[in-house]
Structure 1
Amino acid sequence: MRPNKGGLIASALYTVHFLVFSCLSYFAGLKSSVLLAEMAVLPAGMILGWLWSALGLHDPPFDIDSWMNSYLSYFPVSLLVSYLFGWMLHSLWRLAVRRIGPGLDRIDARLIKRLHRD
């Protein structure tokens, strides 16, 4: 099975996003560094936050000092979420091209026929 082009593009964009926000959080003040670091792992935070709420948990199921509560452990989850999002967008785009594309070709042919009356 080949990797999806849309998923790979979304993953690459997310990796750049993660690197930019991680670097900015390293050089920022205390309050803004926390906000920037959370923006770096936003996809995982949204998905896992929803999952923990759905399971009835108020906090993550692991300790605050655990290695699983670090931003580097959220990166693979965010990368997977961004890949799936890119895969979904790419699939929707291909579906739209298949459904709408032939109709656009007919419209183009009619316009060319009408405009080129010699």
Structure 2
Amino acid sequence: GRPESPDPPPTPRTPQTAKCQEGMEDPRRATNRESAQRSRDEKRQRLGEDEFKRQNAATEKARRQKNKEQQEIAAVTAEIEVEQQQQQLAAQAQAQQQAQAQVQAQHGQLA
């Protein structure tokens, strides 16, 4: 058999733990989400499953698109930040090299 991994078995992710990554959600938004969920459920019962899905498909698609765009923007922003940091580090390293070269040149003149 395969060796037992020391890690405990993964616990099923609950919506709460998923939310923790975005920082604690304020209670107002939580209640908003619950009431939205409730009204959606009521609507689903009124309209019937198929019609409800048809209506929701458009909004769901738009929401997914928006999420995707936000993720892409975040990724690009992160890349830009990394590039800027690297440029700064490179500039600092260059400045240090120049300073050392100047010091060496001065010592050369003194000798």
TM-score relative to the length of structure 2? 0.38
Comparing both chains, which one has the higher relative contact order based on Cα–Cα distances under 8 Å and sequence gaps of 6 or more?
1
TM-score relative to the length of structure 1? 0.36
- Larger gyration radius, structure 1 or structure 2: 2
